[in-house]
Structure 1
Amino acid sequence: MQRYFVEPANIIDNEVTIQGPDVHHIRNVMRFSIGDSLGICPNDGTLRLARITAIEKSKVTAAIFKTIIENQPEHEITIAQALIRKDRFEWFLEKATELGVTKIIPTGFARSIVQIDENKSTAKLERYRMIVKEASEQSERNVMPLITAFTDLPDIDYSRYDMIFYASERDQKASLIRDVLAKHPKSGKYLFLVGPEGGITDDEVSLLEAKGAIPISLGSRILRSETAGIMVMSAILSQWGE
């Protein structure tokens, strides 16, 4: 069933109002009619089944007839992904959302080529959130990933995580990610850091290890940054499931 994320304020009693770009999608892409059913997600882990009662140019109204509460994953997976070229970062956002990431921190590393213009940061974050919204709807998630503000590596709040890992392509001590995941419980708050294609500097490694971070290996091949981030999520999905 096609689903749409809405703000909780747009649900009053058992009536939901859908606005914005989703109206175009309902009217012109899905070509829904009055009486058709769709899924409504207020981003609280529930799925509200609703029937369309009115279709107007700027809004769609639907009556909720059933609420489904779905269990959420035991684990919270955050990826601090290095800032990379726009199209690659947006591809990462879409695929990581489909694979079940909980939170994404767009992160500045010393060797990040992409620098964020503060005057454009709000617009960029809005675009990122639209990408994860659409990917969440497509993959039938009931909760969207959180996209945080742009954050430099030293400014991440490491204290809120139970375990911290960073992808290391050359550290001989790094264990394969599948072996690391097998040794840890699936429940908990986990932070995975993925650096830029130039790699993580020695100073950054020292900072991370001072925070208790553990190096992990993604295999023998050198991966693009966005591919590494997706490989982390794929390994988690394979090992722990949803």
Structure 2
Amino acid sequence: MPKFFIEPSALRTEDGRQQVTITGEDAHHLGRVLRAQPGDRIKATDGRGNLYEVVLTVVTPETVRGDVLAVGPDQAEPALKITLFQSILKGEKMDWVLQKGTEIGITAFVPFLSARTIARPAPNQYAKKQERWQNIVTAAAKQSGRGLIPKVYPVTPWSAVPSMLAGQFTLVAWEGETTCSLRQALSQREQPTAVQLVIGPEGGFSPEEVAVLVAQGALSVSLGPRILRAETAGPLAAGLLLFHYGALEPAPSTLANNGR
């Protein structure tokens, strides 16, 4: 059953029935590509954690309408909210992190500049970069059936990063860490509701940068004895976090009948 994102404004109640209206590219995809017909069923998520089962009543390339049959929480979203602070990477490496991180289940991304960041867009390009990255995340969220579209924050200078992390459960992956593994750090912590995961650039963090974050309460962790590429570390660590806390189990259906 295909799944589509809808705005909350796409829902309305008429004659005691809750209805959904889909327009734009998704309507075209349903009508022209999937060749949907009235009577077909789809799933729709409002990006706020709610999932709807919908039976289609009208299908055109411009507008698709349907009646809501059932509604429930969208179990595609992990209870653990991971924000990935990723030092900006060169070219397609950053795109890869955003795409794969979204598929895995990361909730938000904060691209930032650190001492060894190689890719440094001009400040007048920040907004364009953020828009492009958000489009990548949006497409990945739709493809992977997410229950929400992760947010990509504006490009952030290093000076602002420590204060953003203060008081939060923060893990800094650093190849210079020799005493604390990710497993050890997680075994000492009861299940959190949110984790801030910090990953450096191609050249890694400087010891001084790690020290600043640790002084704010962050935990420096090793991801193993092998040196990982910068674009590998974030998605891998996020996947390990979700696995450790049981967020990669199959999701049961929680849709409740909507009176039909």
**C-alpha separation in 1, matches of 2:61 and 2:21:** 13
Residue matched to 1:104: 109
**C-alpha separation in 2, matches of 1:98 and 1:107:** 21
User: Does residue 52 of structure 2 align to residue 48 of structure 1?
Assistant: yes
User: Does residue 24 of structure 2 align to residue 20 of structure 1?
Assistant: yes
CA deviation profile, 1:147-194 (whole Å, cap 9, x unmatched): 222212331312352x11111102323x11122122212223211100
- 1:219 CA displacement: 0.8
User: Does residue 181 of structure 2 align to residue 168 of structure 1?
Assistant: no
Any residues of structure 2 matched to 1:40-189 within 5 Å, and which? 40-70=44-74, 73-156=78-161, 157-159=164-166, 161=168, 163-173=169-179, 175-189=180-194
Equivalent of 1:210, from 209, 215, 238? Answer: 215
One-letter identity of the residue aligned with 2:11: I
Q: Is the 8 A contact 1:182 1:239 kept in 2?
A: no
Q: Is the 8 A contact 2:42 2:54 kept in 1?
A: yes
C-alpha RMSD over aligned residues? 2.1
Using a 3 Å threshold, how does the CA distance of structure 1 residues 122 and 38 change in structure 2: closer, same or farther?
Answer: farther
In the superposition, the TM-score normalised over structure 1's length comes to 0.89
- 1:131 CA displacement: 2.6
Q: Is the 8 A contact 1:154 1:207 kept in 2?
A: no
5+ residue gaps, structure 1, are none
**C-alpha separation in 2, matches of 1:36 and 1:234:** 34
- Indicate the SS of the match to 1:151: coil
**C-alpha separation in 1, matches of 2:243 and 2:54:** 33
Using a 3 Å threshold, how does the CA distance of structure 1 residues 51 and 183 change in structure 2: closer, same or farther?
Answer: same
- Indicate the SS of the match to 2:166: helix
Q: Is the 8 A contact 1:5 1:133 kept in 2?
A: no
- 1:100 CA displacement: 1.5
5+ residue gaps, structure 2, are 248-260
User: Does residue 235 of structure 2 align to residue 235 of structure 1?
Assistant: no
Comparing 148-157 and 76-85, the one that deviates more: 148-157
**C-alpha separation in 1, matches of 2:125 and 2:51:** 34
One-letter identity of the residue aligned with 2:119: V
Bigger-Rg structure (1/2): 2
CA deviation profile, 1:178-235 (whole Å, cap 9, x unmatched): 2212221222321110000111123312321221111110111111111001110121
- 1:70 CA displacement: 4.2
In the superposition, the TM-score normalised over structure 2's length comes to 0.83
Using a 3 Å threshold, how does the CA distance of structure 1 residues 224 and 76 change in structure 2: closer, same or farther?
Answer: same
Percent of aligned positions with the same letter in both sequences? 31
One-letter identity of the residue aligned with 2:116: R
Using a 3 Å threshold, how does the CA distance of structure 1 residues 125 and 186 change in structure 2: closer, same or farther?
Answer: same
- Indicate the SS of the match to 1:200: coil
**C-alpha separation in 2, matches of 1:23 and 1:89:** 30
- 1:80 CA displacement: 0.3
One-letter identity of the residue aligned with 2:170: I
